[in-house]
Amino acid sequence: MRYIKLGAIVFTMLLASFAISNAQDMKDMKGMKMSSDNQAKTETIQGEVIDMACYMTKGEKGEAHAECATMCINNGLPVGILDGEGHVYLCMTASHKPANSLLVQYAAKQVKVTGKLYKKGGMDLLAVEKVVPVESDTKKN
């Protein structure tokens, strides 16, 4: 019985220690600010809105994939832009949140996206500020 009480006391102390540590971490995070964006340049990228999961795993893109891409983006999978040279840009919003709600309506369609472009370790990340659909040639005639 004595070991059970001792175990309960140790467990309670560990739990309290974890709670205090976690509360301090959360307090520290509230004061955090994103690092300066001055190293990123504003760029405009033209390309197709893709769901990154299907494109990266199966090469899926284009109008035939529009319904699936829309479903994947709505379900929270990452969204990106595939340019004419085959380069992929992972997208987020300018406020550093997922860009899914900004881009889902353009799934499998061509757009011009303007925002801050970050490059690191072979990856490009576009912080989207503006999205403009690109009209197809058939709509212009």
Q: Are residues 131 and 111 in contact, defined by beta-carbon separation less than 8 angstroms?
A: yes
pLDDT at 135: 86
pLDDT score at 68:
97
The pLDDT score that the predictor gives to residue 19 is 47
What are the per-10-residue average pLDDT scores of the chain (141 residues)?
55 48 45 56 97 97 97 97 98 95 98 97 96 74 43
The Cα–Cα gap between 132 and 106 comes to 9
The DSSP secondary structure of 48-110, one letter per residue, reads EEEEHHHHHHH---SGGGHHHHHHHHHTT--EEEEETTS-EEEEEETTSSB-HHHHGGGBTSE
pTM over 0.85, yes/no: no
Tell me what pLDDT residue 4 has. Answer: 61
